[in-house]
Amino acid sequence: MVPAKPRVLYWFRTDLRLHDSPALKAALDLKPECLYPIWCWDPHYVYRARVGPNRWQYLLDCQSDLSASITKLNPKSKLFVLREAPQTVLAKLFKAWKISHLVFEKDTDAYARQRDEDVIKQAEEAGVEVIVKMGRTLYDPDELVKANGGKPTMSITQVQHAAEKLDEVAKPVPTPESLPDPGNASLDFEHTPPSPKPDFNDIQRIDMESSYTHLAGPEGDFGVPTLSELGLKPATTQHRGGETLALRALDEIISNKTYTATFAKPATAPTAFDPQSTTLLSPHHHFGSLSVRLFYWRVMDVLKEYKGKQSTIPTNLIGQLLFRDMYFGAQTALGYSFAQTHGNSHCRFIPWHLPSKVDPSNGLVTGDHHIDSPEAETWFDRWKWGKTGFPWIDALMRQLRQEGWIHHLGRHAVACFLTRGGCYIDWERGAEVFEEWLIDHEVSCNSGNWQWLSCTAFYSQFYRCYSPIAFPKKTDAKGDFVRHFCPELKDYPEKFIYEPWKAPVADQKKAGCLIKGDGQETEDGGMKVYPKPMFDFNARRSICLDAMKSAYHINLYGDNLKVKDGTWRELFPDSAEGPTEGKSAKDAINGEETGKKTRPKRGEEASGDMGVDQDEGEAAEVGGETKGGDQEGKSPGKRKRKGQGTLDAHFGGKRTKK
C-alpha cells in the first residue's frame, strides 16, 4: 500500500520570510502533494493587544511581500489569509482541505504558547501530524533556560554560560527554489467571526472594524487586509516591512565592514535620525522577515575577516542579539508574569504611581490602571503625547508616535524619565504605550527593557539617571533632533534648545514661540506655544532617588504575598513617594481587589515575613523552578548603610527584620 502524499498546512506567524526557515524547510522535506501557506488573522492581535497603525502597516507590508515571493516561486500559490482565530479555523481546515501535516515555527511568548498548545491538541484529535521548528532566536529559549539551571536568564553572563552548553547557533538553511501547489481552497464550512469585545484598540479606530466579515476577505481571494478594514488611520511611518527590504538592508549593513565590525551600541547617537545610527533591523526580526541566525552568521563572517580593532560582546552587534535571547529566556521561564510586576518573582516591587489593575481571578493585569494621583495621570498624558515641556523627551515621544521607532538610548531616556528618574510612574504604563506605537514591539524585549530602565530587574544602578538636558547635548549640541520633531522650537538659540523656559521672553518672541501653559494650547495671538516644563527635573530626580532607595531597602518582589494582597503598604513610610498612604489613595487602590475578597491562599503564612508564594504556576513551565530562597538573604538588615540623612529616619521601625 502506497502511503498518501502529505498535504501540508504551513502556518506563517512571526516568520514572514522564505529564507533561512527551518520550519518551512521541514514542510518541504515532506515532499508534499500540496502546501497551503496560510496566515490566521488572529483577533487576539486585532482586539486584545495594543497595536497602532504603524505596526499594522509593517505587518501588511511583510504579508504582501511574502505573498508576492510565494507567487514568484509558484504562480498558483500565495499567502492565504484567513480571517478567523487559529484556535477555531485550523481544525476546520484540517477537515475541509484534507490536511495531513501542520507545520510552523516555534513561538515562545505566553500567549503564543497557550495558542499553540490549543492548536496542537486539536491537530492530534484530528489525526494531523504537527511539526514545530525553532527559528526565531539564536538559541531555543527552552533549551537556554534549561542550560541556565531552569532559571530565567537575567544577565548576559548567564546567557553566555548557558549558550556554551548548547550547540552553536544554527547555520542558515537554503531558501526554497520552488513551492508545491496549494490544494483546493474550498470554504465549505461555517465561518466563526470573533467577539470584538473588549477592544483595546477601540480608541484608535476612526471607523468600524470590519476585517472579519468574510473568512477569505471582502474579495474572497484570501487577500491581505487593509488598515481601512481595521478602521484605522493610515500609517505615518516611513519605515516599511517585508523580506525583500530586509535582505537588502542586511546586505547594505554587511557591505560596510567597518560599521559591522566596530558597532558599539552605547557609542551610537540617539539623536541621529536621518539616517539613524543603528541598524533598524529590529522590526524585521520581530516579524521574522529577517532571520536573526542569518544576521548572526553574516556578522560573524565579517568579524572573522576584519583586521582592525573590533567591538566586542556585549556592545557589538552579536551582543545585541544575545540581549534579545536573554529577554526571550527570561520571558520563557516566567510566562505571563514576565510582562507585569504582579506575580513576577524576578521583578522588584516599587510603589509607582498609576499602578496596574489586576484581575484577582487570574492574577493578570487587566489593561486598566489606578489613578492614585491626578497629577501623575496628567504627567503620564503629557509624556505620552510629547508635551512634557522637556524638548528632548517630547521630541522622542513624537518621533515614536509618528515613526514607530526611536533609538535604543532614546527609549532609555523616556523610560527613565517616566519611571525612576522623573514621574515615578509604573513602568507598565510606559510599556503599554511602547506596545501600541513601536513597529518592533516584542513582548519579551519590551517588558525586559522597561524592567531594566525602571531598575526593577536586570539593572539596579538607579542612581545613574538620564538628564533630559545633559544627555542629548553629548551627541547633538545644536539640537537638530529637537528642531525636527518639535518644529515650534526650530528657531530657538542653541543655548536654550534643551531648556527653552530659560530663554528671556524677548528671545522667545524672536524665535516665534512662547513658553507657556501645560500643552493644551499650541498658539497664542498668532505666536506658537510650547509648554512650560511640567516639573523641576532636579527636584523630581532627587525625590525619585530617595524613593528608589527606600523601596530597594524594603526589598519586595512581585510574587510577594504582601504585594499581592496590598499589605505592602504597611512596610512603606507614610512620606514615601507613590501610593503608599493617605486614606483616599488607600481606598482607591485597596478597595477593589483586596478588600475582603480573599484570593485563594495556599501555603500562605501570615507571618509578616517575606513569604514566597509559588502558586502562580508559570514556573512549572520550565520544569518546576523553585526560587524559595530568592528573597531570603537579601534582607535589608544585612545591608550596610553609611548615609545618615533623611532616609534612615524614615525607616525607623518600618523595615522588616529577619
Partner DNA sequence: CGATGAGTTGTTAGA
Partner DNA sequence: TTCTAACAACTCATC
Binding residue for DNA, selected from 185, 469, 527, 588, defined by CB under 7 A? 469
Q: In terms of Cα–Cα distance, which of 374, 341, 334, 375 is closest to 356? A: 341
Interaction between residue 420 and DNA (CB under 7 A): no
In angstroms, what is the minimal distance from the CB of 375 to DNA?
A: 24
Interaction between residue 76 and DNA (CB under 7 A): no
Binding residue for DNA, selected from 47, 58, 452, 492, defined by CB under 7 A? 452
CA distance 411 to 276: 14
Interaction between residue 186 and DNA (CB under 7 A): no
Interaction between residue 408 and DNA (CB under 7 A): yes
In angstroms, what is the minimal distance from the CB of 630 to DNA?
A: 9
Interaction between residue 120 and DNA (CB under 7 A): no
Binding residue for DNA, selected from 78, 342, 412, 528, defined by CB under 7 A? 412
Quick one: residue 280, left, alpha or beta (phi over 0 = left, psi -120 to 50 = alpha)?
A: left
Interaction between residue 156 and DNA (CB under 7 A): yes
Q: Which set of grid coordinates corresponds to residue 631?
A: 528573597
In angstroms, what is the minimal distance from the CB of 115 to DNA?
A: 29
Binding residue for DNA, selected from 90, 393, 431, 465, defined by CB under 7 A? 465
Binding residue for DNA, selected from 155, 244, 567, 594, defined by CB under 7 A? 155
Interaction between residue 315 and DNA (CB under 7 A): yes
In angstroms, what is the minimal distance from the CB of 554 to DNA?
A: 11
How far are the Cα atoms of 354, 374, 397, 408, 585 from residue 371, in angstroms, in the given order? 5, 6, 22, 29, 9
Q: What would the 3-class secondary structure string for 537-587 be? A: HHHHHHHHHHHHHHHHHHCCECCEHHHHHCHHHHHCCCCCCCCCCCHHHHH
> Is 323 marked as a binding-site residue?
yes
Strand partners, 201: none
CA distance 263 to 39: 36
Cα 84 to chain centroid, rounded = 25
> Is 199 marked as a binding-site residue?
no
Q: What would the 3-class secondary structure string for 16-63 be? A: CCCCCCHHHHHHHHCCCCEEEEEEECCHHHHHHCCCCHHHHHHHHHHH
How many other C-beta atoms are found inside a 10 Å radius of the C-beta of residue 473? 16
Interaction between residue 460 and DNA (CB under 7 A): yes
Q: Which are the contacts of 550, defined by CB distance < 8 A and separation ≥ 6?
A: 572, 573, 576, 647, 650, 651
Interaction between residue 286 and DNA (CB under 7 A): no
Interaction between residue 364 and DNA (CB under 7 A): no
In angstroms, what is the minimal distance from the CB of 482 to DNA?
A: 15
Name the amino acid, one letter, at 217.
G
Q: What are 162-169's contacts with CB under 8 Å, separation 24+?
A: 162/329, 163/138, 163/139, 163/322, 163/325, 166/139, 169/138, 169/139, 169/293, 169/296, 169/297
> Is 320 marked as a binding-site residue?
yes
Binding residue for DNA, selected from 98, 464, 510, 658, defined by CB under 7 A? 464
Contact region with DNA (CB under 7 A), list: 114-122, 156-164, 180-188, 558-566: 156-164
Interaction between residue 154 and DNA (CB under 7 A): yes
> Is 328 marked as a binding-site residue?
yes
Interaction between residue 266 and DNA (CB under 7 A): yes
CA distance 318 to 296: 6
Interaction between residue 490 and DNA (CB under 7 A): no
Say if residues 430 and 393 touch (Cβ distance below 8 Å).
Answer: no
> Is 373 marked as a binding-site residue?
no
Binding residue for DNA, selected from 225, 288, 319, 578, defined by CB under 7 A? 319
Contact region with DNA (CB under 7 A), list: 11-19, 35-43, 333-341, 407-415: 407-415
Contact region with DNA (CB under 7 A), list: 102-110, 199-207, 453-461, 619-627: 453-461
Interaction between residue 320 and DNA (CB under 7 A): yes
User: Based on C-alpha coordinates, what's the Rg of the chain?
Assistant: 26
> Is 122 marked as a binding-site residue?
no
Name the amino acid, one letter, at 104.
F
Considering the complex, state which of residue 465 and residue 515 has its C-beta at the smaller distance from DNA.
465
Contact region with DNA (CB under 7 A), list: 202-210, 495-503, 548-556, 586-594: 548-556
Burial code (b: 16+ CB inside 10 Å, e: under 16) for 55-84 equals bbbbbbbbbbbbbebbeeebeebbbbbbbb
Cα 320 to chain centroid, rounded = 15
Q: In terms of Cα–Cα distance, which of 589, 46, 631 is closest to 353? A: 589
Interaction between residue 259 and DNA (CB under 7 A): no
Considering the complex, state which of residue 161 and residue 654 has its C-beta at the smaller distance from DNA.
161
> Is 333 marked as a binding-site residue?
yes
Name the amino acid, one letter, at 626.
T
CA distance 258 to 262: 6
Sign of torsion over alpha carbons 465, 470, 473, 474: negative
> Is 527 marked as a binding-site residue?
no
In angstroms, what is the minimal distance from the CB of 323 to DNA?
A: 5
> Is 263 marked as a binding-site residue?
no
Q: Which set of grid coordinates corresponds to residue 411?
A: 527609549
Contact region with DNA (CB under 7 A), list: 125-133, 172-180, 550-558, 598-606: 550-558
Cα 114 to chain centroid, rounded = 18
Contact region with DNA (CB under 7 A), list: 164-172, 408-416, 432-440, 577-585: 408-416
* Residues at the contact surface with DNA, assessed by CB under 7 A: 154-158, 161, 264-266, 314-315, 319-320, 323, 408-409, 412, 452, 459-467, 469-471, 474, 549, 552-553, 555, 634, 639, 641-643, 647
Query: Which residues are annotated as part of the binding site?
Result: 278-282, 320-336
Feature table: binding site for FAD:
278-282, 320-336
